[in-house]
Amino acid sequence: MSQNAVQIRNRLVIFGGLGVALAIALFVSPFASSDPDGLDRVAGDLKFDEKEAAEKPAEKLPFYAVFDEYALRGAPEPIATPLAGLVGTLATFGLAWGVGKLVVRGKSHSEDGSQTEG
């Protein structure tokens, strides 16, 4: 394959993958189960759920003014969680990409193999 075709295929992975993630966050999140998850359930059953800190440190952060858990404050109820998911997905994408970019910066592109040593 030509270099150009490789580039197009790789862009397809990025946009396709990110598109799938955004679609899940936007359109599937309203259908998520609201039952307590594994640890919550155990905490309730074994009566240690009251040990949860009344004031979460995360509520001291400025983001708490924007998001109430997975809900965008001020947004209408049906879209508050999808919008929070949209922002969170993009933020996670950016953070992981940014960390990768900083760490792997300045290395030459190589076609074969993902490792330079064993």
Partner 1 sequence: MLSQHSPAVFQEEFQMTFATSCFSVLPFGMNGIGGIGGVSIGWRPIVALHIPDGFLNLPVIGVTWVISIALIALALQRVQAEYQDRTVPLMGVCAAFIFAAQMINFPIPGGTSGHLLGGTLAGALLGPWAGSLVMAAVFIVQGVLFQDGGITVMGANIFNMGLIGTFGGYYLFTAIRRSLGRNKLQSMVVASAVGAWVSVMAAAFVCAIQLATSGTVPLGVALSAMLGWHVLIGIGEALITVATLTFIWRSRPDLFFHPPRRSAVSVAQPYSVR
**Binding partner 1 by CB under 8 A: which of 4, 65, 74, 78?**
78
| Residues of span 82-111 touching partner 1 by CB under 8 A | 84-85, 87-97, 99-101, 103-105, 107, 109-110
Q: Does 79 bind partner 1 (CB under 8 A)?
A: no
The residue among 74 and 77 lying less far from partner 1, judged by its C-beta, is: 77
Number of Cβ within 10 Å of residue 20's Cβ equals 10
In this structure, are residues 22 and 91 in contact, taking their beta carbons and an 8 Å threshold?
no
To partner 1, the closest distance from the beta carbon of 59 in angstroms equals 6
d(CA 53, CA 49) in angstroms, rounded, equals 9
| Residues of span 10-29 touching partner 1 by CB under 8 A | 10, 12-25, 28-29
| Residues of span 47-76 touching partner 1 by CB under 8 A | 48, 51-53, 56-59, 61, 63-64, 66-71
DSSP conformation class of 66: T
| Residues of span 26-45 touching partner 1 by CB under 8 A | 28-43, 45
**Backbone CA torsion sign across 90, 28, 72, 69:** negative
C-alpha torsion angle, residues 68, 60, 94, 74 (rounded to 10): 30
